Amino acid sequence: MIPLPLARIAEITSGALSGMADPRAVVRGPVVIDSRAVEPGSLFVALRGERVDGHDYVAQAIRAGAVAVLATRPVDAPSVIVPDAAAALAELATAQAAALPKVTVIGVTGSAGKTTTKDLLARLTARIGSTIAPVGSFNNELGHPLTVLRADLDTRFMVLELAARNIGHIKELTRIAPPQIGVVLNVGTAHLGVFGGKEAIAKAKGELVEALPRTGVAVLNADDPLVRAMASRTEARVTYFGRGDSASIRAENLSVDARGRASFTLRTPSGTAPVSLKLYGEHAVENALAAAAAAYELGLPVATIAAELSEATPRSRWRMEVTDRADGVTVVNDAYNANPDSMRAAFGAFAVLGRGRRRFAVIAALRELGEDGPALNAELGRLAGGSGLAGLIVAGPDAEPVLEGARAAAAEAQAAAQASLDAQAAAQAAAGLPPAPHEGGPQGWHGPVPEHGAPQGWHGPAPEQGAPQPGRQAPQGWQGPVGAVAPGQPPTGGPPVGGPVHGQPPAGAPAVAGGPAGGPPAGGPPGAGAAYPAQTMRIVHVPDAEAAAAELAGWLRPGDAVLVKGPRAMGLERTAELLLGGAAQ
């Protein structure tokens, strides 16, 4: 921040010096709300929350080197006393932004993708000059002014992420640091219950372009009708990004590799350049185009923009973080937050990244969806249940709509797959042909071995050995208890056979659509003249993130892939951390 004496801070915030504060003492920054982040020269803002009161940590902040405290009641330390600490923080940031006339402020908003776009754009503007951008998702009434206060006289760009939980929030954030460029990504279903509808969300997001000056630029998503319509709400010049021909900054010749990373030709009014993203998921293309459009308006050459986008890696935690364990299990940690739109994007990316592998997902019921919540959560369940997963874990409260949707979709998918297999078998029989040899049988088969040999994923003895018998030692790799084996049946006491028997699940079984992940499919083992049964999916509900990790640990085998995604309040990043060998935070 720009160094300020306490007397000037008191003047800006309409506060009063207290606690033997020296009006000439200079705060050089940073301004922090966490006493653990205090550095020598800091100003500590004591906020009172529902569970923690910053005033209780004043002594710790002073010991760490804070010059003074911005507080709402007298404390035993040099301080500036104000009626409302959050409002005073905003006023201080407003004064700081006004003192930086050479800074270009770029605001980014949207229902999804704000943080990734902000990170990409900050990388691009850093090629031109000193850039300040939020850490993670500092995008609300506290994080926004804290980010602004990090700027100093050398700062040339502030790339700010603006979030809204109601009408008027973005307008207030733009008052603190008036933007010259405003980027609007999309209007989706995040916080749908709070706003009451997508039109209200569009009204809130559009406050960013309304705040732009006539000399500014509105960067709008041409592919989202609600965003495109915002052009009528601004006096600024408008430029469009997207995939269609109407966008001046667009992606052409799009392709996605086996890891779900997109490559495309970036087309601009002044030429083209190839981009190969290191970010995961095709939905990252829109974020890259938005960043490219803003950077192009700042004068960066298209080749430079393309090169920087191609080198960019995720900067913010828990957003499509892809990690490969030593045993080949791939964990996709996209657990920072979730809404219906980002869930669809994540499952789409995961389908590509996990192609040809057993795939599992850990999700939780979405929140802040209002009266549409049950229906949208049931839709989420159907999305997951129809995604070809080997297993699904739903964590936390209010999970029943998700579970019901997942069970229904999984049953439909299994029935459709079985019908296709039966039709193939019938066609072969009608033609007088023997059953086609199955290379390994169904993925994850744990049942008796067909005469064609041990199928892929077999965890029992070699075919000539037969299953373990009572009183005999289980062969290496056997995953069920030793017991008598009737012809065509799994070992006695072993995992339940895939799907429901005669439409009923085994007594006392957990919520299961089909058998346990990787277990035998419903029906009997494949026999002469019969198609393999369609693979089934296990669906389980657990109370929390730790229980999800414990449950999933028993399912995973080398080479599997896992998606972890849910609303921020569920803390599902802990599930990913535990799967990767870390400790729960």
Q: Is 359 helix (H, G, I), strand (E, B) or coil?
A: strand
Among candidate residues 455, 194, 159, the one with its CA nearest the CA of residue 290: 159
- Helix (H) or strand (E) run with residue 264 in it: strand 261-268
Tell me which DSSP letter residue 48 carries: B
Burial of 194 (0-12, 13-18, 19+ CB in 10 A): middle
Strand partners, 43: 31, 68
- Whole-angstrom distance, CA of residue 288 vs CA of residue 273: 13
- CA 430 centroid distance within chain: 50
116 labelled as ligand-binding? yes
110 labelled as ligand-binding? yes
Which positions ≥6 away from 6 have C-beta within 8 Å?
A: 17, 21, 22, 23, 24, 25, 26, 27, 67, 68, 78, 80
The length of the chain is 585
Residue 22 backbone class (left: φ over 0; alpha: ψ -120 to 50; beta: rest): beta
Q: How far is CA 482 from CA 369, 449, 478, in A?
A: 49, 17, 9
Among candidate residues 186, 89, 184, the one with its CA nearest the CA of residue 145: 89
115 labelled as ligand-binding? yes
Among candidate residues 155, 143, 68, 34, the one with its CA nearest the CA of residue 105: 155
Return the structure tokens found at 504.
């009923």
With b meaning 16 or more CB within 10 Å and e meaning fewer, what string describes 505-532? eeeeeebbbbbbbbbbbbbbbbeeebbb
Neighbours of 191 (CB within 10 A): 21
User: Which residue has tokens 């006096």?
Assistant: 235
The strand ranges marked E within 6-100 are: 16-18, 26-27, 31-32, 43-45, 68-71, 79-81
Return the structure tokens found at 333.
């940690």
Measure CA of the first residue to CA of the last residue in the chain; give whole Å.
31
112 labelled as ligand-binding? yes
- Whole-angstrom distance, CA of residue 35 vs CA of residue 62: 9
**Would you list which residues are annotated within the binding site?**
110-116
Binding site for ATP: residue ranges? 110-116
